Structure 1
Amino acid sequence: MQSSSTLFPVALISAERCGDLIEDVYRLKPANSPDYSVELAVTRLGLFEHPDQRGVPVILLHGSFSNRRFWYSPKGIGLGAYLARAGFDVWIPEMRGHGLSARNQAYRSNRVADYARYDLPAIAAFVREQSGQIPHWIGHSLGGTTLAAALGGQYLGAPGAASVALFGSQVSRTYWPLKVPPVQWSGRLLLKPFEHISGPRFKRGPEDEPIGLVLESMRWHGLFGRFGDAHGNWWTGLKDVEVPVLAVAAVGDEQDPEWACRKLFEQIGSVERKFVCLGREHGFSEDFGHVQMLVSKSAQTEVWPLVADWLRERSTVAEDTLPEAAAG
């Protein structure tokens, strides 16, 4: 089958109609990481009446234990569908082993470091090739943390990101037992035999998460731990970020509290940046929670328009004329 891209093998694996929307699913095989078996499913949402219409590209990155359905339901409800109907060119990747993305050979060892270093730049390059414009990014929870890692590690910069929005994302919430070396070592020893943590079993979401991701998070929060990997300190690198950044926290978010989200935001060096906290004391109708900040009836009327306005305000740049290459 002929590839849909000149960058690396890409196949259109399905093309369906979802009410007034079209749902095209591509399978990317970038072969840019040590595990050449990695394949990533990326869904494009567009309007059925104007299938070839290309608005400003926006990439939506799901969080842990989740998949593309966080952004739009089978009935066509969600932020992704809302943005598509507003004229944006919406792209929704599913990370390794999530949703339509097959589990790679080294699935149990997958980490945020792999997503940030290899997968996000490949996705950015593909979307840019297809749309002819630099994409905007929106990440929720772990999706936002992955974006922060890609920015701090210099894997994703101006050639691959016109702006970045982080929803409920942080790396500073402290788990004090992990600061005790014997507890850290014991925990890692107990977890290493497992391949994954089951989202459905522990009622965290529809997807599983590889054990490598859990071990990586434990290392970040251990004694002398830092947000980074053996190749660099992402936390320090965030000071050099130049792309516009929107960070959104929620007063009722117990998983990723406001103070921790704000700390990540304040570490980012972008000149153009904005912090929003969703709560009654800040003029919203309720104290939003971790999921409700993007998936709720209140989010539809109060948060989704905020996102669309942010994107429109930063979508005045002319069509991208940079050479076709992976973002970095």
Structure 2
Amino acid sequence: MGAPDKVESQTNTTEKSCKELKCDCNLMWSMIQQMSTKRLCTLHGRNEGSIIPVFSDRARRISATYARFYLEKEDYGEPTKKGRFYWMALGAFASKTVACSLDDLRVPIIDPVFKGLAKGNLWLFYDISGWHWYYTRFRNSFDQCVSCRDASAYIKPVKDQVANYPWMDEALPKIANMHRHDHIVEAFDLVKQIESSRPGEDQERLKYQHLIAIANHEQGVILQPLIYDDACFARWVWVQRLRGIRSLSPKLQMAFTSACDIDDQKLKSEAPKETVLEDFQSRMQWITSVADIFHDLMQRQGAYMESQLNAMAGWVNMDQMQNYQPTYMFGAPL
């Protein structure tokens, strides 16, 4: 997989003296990117691995990671601060929904939609997980370094890894090398307020505001330019809304369960028929409605919601092809 996520300094030959090693923002961002890389890989040795090949497995590992962030089960998590990464809980259900769509036999037959969903979910993960891992691991320098993230400037071993990410040549220019951070700054300012607040109405309000800030980044900064502005993807999404075809297409919905669907209508949200998925404003209207339902469920049925998040957190090592022997390192998408 390349370089380990450690930095070594040449031995100092002066007895009883020290050699200072300075880690700048770019070096730390490079280290963080490796954490995102490793999460979606099968490791073959200390520093070697290959990305898991099945698209829906990637989506379930992503769902697991988001759930683990919310539950504070990731490395450097703090269980006493559970709830501060509020979007991550909703993100877990969203990535699970993508996994279910990718497994739906009606989706792979439309290749631009199949690969578009996989691509968007993958690159959103590469982007959004990094901000959260940096905050938990290097919190003291987050404010200083938040504006310095730039995938084109990573140290060479990490750039070499990123160069083999699926759809890299297309994705990185469209998402500005994972540099754009206006909504991220807003969201993590809210995280700090959540951390310093007491449980109650004010904290719940902050959590909801944080969720919407991340949603604006997710939808506007990453997914809109990466997949929804793609003419081919947008055209096929439009086709699925046509009379006679809509009824044969997968439902556009979010079900708040670790399963793909649930009978209880109060535990899911189906997009209104007038939703134009490829249009940012139209899509955000539905996503805001989903966020409202999610927020209500997290307050009224918190134990149930956390049980579903814990179930999804268990997918962190999902790999249906674990006995498959790849011939590439971080190869191109299937």
TM-score (norm 1): 0.31
Higher helix share: 2
Larger radius of gyration: 2
Greater RCO (Cα-Cα under 8 Å, separation 6 or more): 2
Higher strand share: 1
